[in-house]
Amino acid sequence: MEWLRLFFLHPISFYQGAAFPFALLFNYICIMDSFSIHARYLFLLAGGGTLAVAAMGPYAVLVFTPAVCAVALLCSLAPQQVHRWTFCFQMSWQTLCHLGLHYTEYYLHEPPSVRFCITLSSLMLLTQRVTSLSLDICEGKVEIASGIIRSRSSLSEHVCVALPYFSYLLFFPALLGGSLCSFQRFQACVQGSSGLYPRHPFWTLSWRSLQILGLECLNVAVSRVVGAGVGLTDCQQFECIYVMWTTAGLFKLTYYSHWILDDSLLHAAGFGSELGQSSGEEEYVPDADIWTLERTHRISVFARKWNQSTARWLRRLVFQNSRAWPLFQTFAFSAWWHGLHPGQVFGFLCWAVMVEADYLIHSFANGFIRSWLMRLFYRTLTWAHTQLIIAYIMLAVEVRSLSSLWLLCNSYNSVFPMVYCILLLLLVKRKHKCN
């Protein structure tokens, strides 16, 4: 049972697993209608606070503080001003925390605290919820009475009004991981009647457990292969391509299993995909679409399906609001949101160039490939090339440091993104000539 030991040795997996009984209890409470709406909000908020303290220790203050400030801004500003101020404050706070990690890793040359890394991960998810809620308020999807804090209402009335927002920002099923849940969906789940909740979550959770089991078994097998071989520091020529591919495969398996675990926790609490949809409510989007990710031959499709809820959030937050170079602005912001490590900056900007090349290459190829045999050959070739480019980007983002990034760029692996860069330049030149 080595897979089980390795899986629960990961801190976030351990705490997510420990939260499962409480998620099922909350679902049961909602089904039985045994608690009031305010009691349900308090249950989720208390669970989030307890989980934060258990997982992050004293660093939990770094999550509680921006959550309190965000609610204060939401309740005191006009709807047109909410998003600008909450976005600036939240990203400034998160950037300062990431700079603390930079100071520890690159200046002190010390390994960061595991609890601090969990805190940063939770803080990034909090940024998603804060900006999603502020955009909903700004766009009129969520109505909130501005100036609540400045009014002369009693303290209990202030707390009752702010409770749903505190609960949404810190509710425990999504505190350490999981797909982005909109405030409308969150509110509908908490306030909804028992008829909205799935009657038999057992079978869905059992299927997800089997998926996690299979992925962790593969993870152990690939870990042994990677551990028995050489690394990027020792590989030579074409051997580096195999090292890159197997290492990236290990990263992908880890992400897939954690995303399914996070999705299972949300489902156990009643926030999952089987929940009935009400009019105007956003659909639940799981992060892991393994089938599409592993068979697509297009980098642009991979970018949209990798961590789907985050991709949709970035599209709404940055891409749709950018007037010039929206694609590059989106990937640049993603690098900022992830922490601006050297490997992350290089990896996300490289990904943006690859997506731009992907659009031009496939639109050009679809214009002259006619026979099914040539199309099959083209899809197979571009599938292999896509998987190798994604592996290259993934290693750049995950290794993060300049020394490791230099080893990657100085290897034969750089040939694959370089091919797409050359094709991009040629097709852009051809497009300008045609125009």
pTM above 0.85, yes or no: yes
Q: Alpha-carbon distance 95 to 98, whole Å?
A: 5
What is the per-residue pLDDT for 199? Answer: 44
Q: Is 338 a catalytic residue?
A: yes
Tens of pLDDT along 165-222?
999 999 999 999 989 999 999 998 888 754 444 445 677 788 888 988 898 888 888 8
**Does the pLDDT at position 57 exceed 90?**
yes
Q: Is 413 a catalytic residue?
A: no
**Of 83, 297, 338, 362, which residue is the catalytic one?**
338
**Of 307, 341, 362, 413, which residue is the catalytic one?**
307
Contact 350, 405 (CB under 8 A): no
Average pLDDT over residues 301-313: 94
Tens of pLDDT along 403-418?
888 989 998 999 999 9
Average pLDDT over residues 385-413: 91
Instruction: Taking each helix axis as running N to C, give the angle between helix 114-138 and helix 155-170, from 0 to 180 degrees, rounded to the nearest 10.
Output: 120
The domain locations on the chain are 1-191, 202-434
Mean pLDDT of the chain: 87
Tens of pLDDT along 118-155?
999 999 999 999 999 999 999 988 887 655 555 556 66
DSSP assignment of 88-157 equals HHHHHHHHHHHHHHHIIIIIS--PPPHHHHHHHHHHHHHHHHHHHHHHHHHTTSS---TTTTTS---HHH
What is the per-residue pLDDT for 285? Answer: 81
**Does the pLDDT at position 9 exceed 50?**
no
